[in-house]
Amino acid sequence: MISVKNLSKKYGSIAAVNDISFEVEKGEIVGFLGPNGAGKSTTMKMLTGYLPPTSGAASIAGFDVFEKSIEARRRLGYLPENTPLYLDMRVNEYLRYRAHLKGVPSGKVAEAVGEAIGLCSLSDVEKKMIGALSKGYRQRVGLADALVHDPELLILDEPTIGLDPNQIRSVRELIKNLAQRRTVLISTHILPEVEIMCSRVIVIHKGKIRASDTAENLLKNHRAAGQLRIEAKTGTEAREAFGRMTGVKDVQAEQDGEYSIFTLRLDANADVSEEVFRLAADRKWNVRELVRKRATLEDVFVELTHSDI
């Protein structure tokens, strides 16, 4: 659905996007992750034909976004960052206007707008001025606009930014519903969201792609794949004993009264919990807690993008 080849965008001597290539297959929901200024929005702007690339090419459904821009644009629904809208129009009027612009046949505009309003739960504010709506509603108007012409591809630039947790949840549900028969490229900072929604994650940092895989695989291959936490009454030798185990990268210790609390950082796929348990049993340490913590996508994200910030 999306094919990006060696795409670059330079502002003067600074490369906002530096020679990236990726593919998005039909039906995928791809999360586009990266810190602020990583090049996510720039890439999305190039895909939607808003910015021309400095070099490289991108196509949507086989149409080059630059050469065959109109054809490519017909097939995508785009929610720009910060959701720019005409504040002087009413919700239904705006959506009708957008439907017309996006080539929905005149006879089907009312139906398409009704459907978008229904999907985005906008029926109570349908006749309100957009300028009078809250941020959450505006975001939903933006989404309704993106999908009013029933595009094959949705490109959503931070659709949940600035929303409260309830709104985030409802927008997330909405996107999940939309994704059932569409391809979605979504950029966000909210990592649990990506884990829940996306079939694949592309991590971009400083204009380069750092990783592109399923969230599961990213976690598996993450260097600090897991942690083990033990709270026990131990002798002084415990720390060294843990450190000697294979797969343990390092051990941190702190004291809580009689108990010592150890945090073991583990290599990918390493699991030393049984070994730790046996050690504690042998030495008759009094264990009050033994917890295995899985790495989160946040850990992966930080590791992939933390370098030299």
Q: Report how many residues bind other proteins under the rule CB under 8 A.
A: 30
Should residue 145 be labelled a site residue for other proteins when binding is judged by CB under 8 A? yes
**Secondary structure (H, E, C), 113-161:** HHHHHHHCCCCCCCCCEHHHCCHHHHHHHHHHHHHCCCCCEEEEECCCC
Burial class, 100, CB count within 10 angstroms (exposed 0-12 / middle 13-18 / buried 19+): middle
Find the binding residues for other proteins in span 33-72 (CB under 8 A): 45, 48-52, 70-71
In Å, what is the CA distance from 280 to each residue of 242, 246, 276, 294?
A: 11, 17, 6, 22
- Min CB(6)–other proteins separation in Å: 19
- Min CB(74)–other proteins separation in Å: 5
Should residue 74 be labelled a site residue for other proteins when binding is judged by CB under 8 A? yes
Question: What 3-state class would DSSP assign to 31?
Answer: strand
Q: How far apart are CA 176 and CA 181, in angstroms?
A: 10
Should residue 73 be labelled a site residue for other proteins when binding is judged by CB under 8 A? yes
Determine the residue type at 45: K
Closer residue to other proteins in complex, CB, 52/62: 52
Closer residue to other proteins in complex, CB, 85/190: 85
Find the binding residues for other proteins in span 199-238 (CB under 8 A): none
The residue whose two tokens read 């002798």 is 235
Find the binding residues for other proteins in span 248-307 (CB under 8 A): none
- Min CB(29)–other proteins separation in Å: 20
Find the binding residues for other proteins in span 75-104 (CB under 8 A): 78, 80, 82, 84-89, 97-98, 100-103
| CA angle (107, 110, 114) in 5-degree steps | 145
Among 5-13, 179-187, 220-228, 233-241, the segment contacting other proteins (CB under 8 A): 5-13
- Min CB(140)–other proteins separation in Å: 15
Contact 139, 159 (CB under 8 A): yes
Determine the residue type at 248: V
Should residue 12 be labelled a site residue for other proteins when binding is judged by CB under 8 A? yes
Contact 119, 169 (CB under 8 A): no
- Min CB(129)–other proteins separation in Å: 9
* Binding site residues, other proteins, CB under 8 A: 10-12, 45, 48-52, 70-71, 73-74, 78, 80, 82, 84-89, 97-98, 100-103, 106, 145
